[in-house]
């Protein structure tokens, strides 16, 4: 199963150096496509002040680039391992 989305939830707010109020986000887990065409969620943690809402967003790499997701299944995926 390939990770398709990060699951994030609002964890609070803070004031930036220039005085703007910004949202602090908490990564709760990931969403993955299943082989049956469904979506599986792996929720690892929730913020202390969880309000019941989780958003799905395209994963962002540590270098700040959005990860491109290959949604087409590999043709060789279901074949047997050769060893």
What's residue 60's pLDDT? 78
Give this prediction's pTM.
0.68
Q: What residues make up the domain containing 10?
A: 3-57
Q: Would you say residue 73 lies in a domain?
A: no
Those residues whose C-beta lies under 8 Å from the C-beta of residue 12, and which sit 6 or more positions away, are: 23, 24, 47, 49
Q: Would you say residue 76 lies in a domain?
A: no
Of 1-5, 28-32, 76-80, which gets the smallest average pLDDT? 76-80
Average confidence (pLDDT) over 29-34 = 94
Q: Would you say residue 38 lies in a domain?
A: yes
Q: Would you say residue 77 lies in a domain?
A: no
pLDDT tens for each residue of 44-82? 999 998 999 999 999 877 776 655 544 444 545 455 655
What's residue 71's pLDDT? 47
Q: How many domains does the chain have?
A: 1
Q: Would you say residue 35 lies in a domain?
A: yes
Q: State the DSSP string of the chain.
A: --EEEEEEEEEEEEE-TTS-EEEEEEEEEEEEE-TTS-EEEEE----TT--S--EEE--B-TTSPBPP---SPPTTTTSPP--
């Amino acid at each position: 199963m390939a990770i398709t989305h990060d699951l994030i939830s609002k964890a609070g707010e803070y004031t930036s150096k220039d005085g703007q109020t910004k949202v602090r986000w908490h990564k709760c887990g990931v969403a993955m496509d299943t082989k049956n065409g469904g979506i599986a969620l792996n929720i690892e943690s929730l913020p202390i002040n969880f309000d019941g809402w989780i958003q799905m967003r395209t994963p962002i790499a540590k270098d700040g680039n959005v990860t491109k997701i290959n949604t087409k299944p590999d043709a060789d995926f279901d074949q047997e391992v050769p060893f």
